[in-house]
Amino acid sequence: MRSSRLLDLIVPQRCAGCAAPGVAWCTWCARTLRAPVPVSRPGLSSAYALAEYRGAARRAVLAYKERGRRELAAPLGRALAAALPSIRAGPVVLVPAPSRPAAARSRGGQHMATVARRCADSLPEATVVPALRLDGRAADSVGLDANARAANLLGRLRPNPRHRPPRGVPAVILDDVITTGATAAACTAALRSIGVQVAAVLALTATT
Ligand SMILES: [Zn+2]
């Protein structure tokens, strides 16, 4: 991370979506993360995404997650915050979808937890609770089909005993991309297992 920050001082910043100079995420690309659209997946109810996983939105997610563009956490969080009231008004607990510990270490932290905190910055009734954790044994899901992915996650995605959500406040799970929906479904099941009402899953993007 340190070297990429140093690089920022030397190389002018460019938009993660369209490479326009001088900004991390330009206003034109910001328009690609708009009103939440329902996402339909087997076994998943109340799931929404701000954009399809392609183009500028996909490039922003990848730049943030895989290429150390940490400054994108704020605009991505703001985009989720702008969308959230149309899905769930009033007090809400934001639960970031967890990454594997090894992936989080290489990325400098749980990337969706950072986005969730930036999201809560502009939502006075939202609280971030990292209520879920992903067991280190979970294999990377890349290349697995839907069934293998679900089996891989089942039982490895658990409630985090150190971070229990407050009772009686509905939760919204935040994720970067919904693909098969297996992660979102596993997150929902894990929260319900400890009595948390899951109001929705809200993702930055979803595959078509
Ligand atoms: Zn742009």
> pLDDT (tens digit, 9 = 90+) per residue, 73-132?
999 999 999 999 999 989 999 999 998 888 888 888 899 999 999 999 999 999 999 999
Across the chain, what does the average pLDDT equal?
90
Rounded Cα distance between 151 and 130, Å, is: 23
CA 94-100-102 angle, to 5 degrees, is 130
5-43 burial: b if 16+ Cβ within 10 Å, else e:
eeeeeeeebbbbbbeeeebbbbeebbebbeebeebebee
108's CB contacts (< 8 A; 6+ apart) are: 1, 68, 70
Residue located via tokens 């290489």? 106
Contact 7, 19 (CB under 8 A): no
- Along the 208 residues of the chain, how does pLDDT read in single tens digits? 455 566 656 667 899 999 999 999 999 999 999 889 999 998 898 999 999 999 999 999 999 999 999 999 999 999 999 999 999 989 999 999 998 888 888 888 899 999 999 999 999 999 999 999 988 765 566 666 666 666 667 678 999 999 999 999 999 999 999 999 999 999 999 999 999 999 999 999 999 9
* 57 CA distance to ligand 1 middle (Å): 9
16 CA to middle of ligand 1, Å? Answer: 6
Ligand 1 center–CA 78 separation, angstroms:
16
- For residue 31, the CA-to-ligand 1 centroid distance in Å is 9
Please, is 47 exposed, middle or buried when counting C-beta atoms within 10 Å of its C-beta (0-12, 13-18, 19+)?
buried
Give, in words, the CATH class of 32-206: alpha beta
Q: Residue 44 C-alpha to ligand 1 middle, in angstroms? A: 32
12: CA distance to ligand 1 center in Å?
14
The rounded Å distance from CA 25 to ligand 1 centre is 5
For residue 202, how far is its CA from the centre of ligand 1 (angstroms)? 22
pTM over 0.75: yes
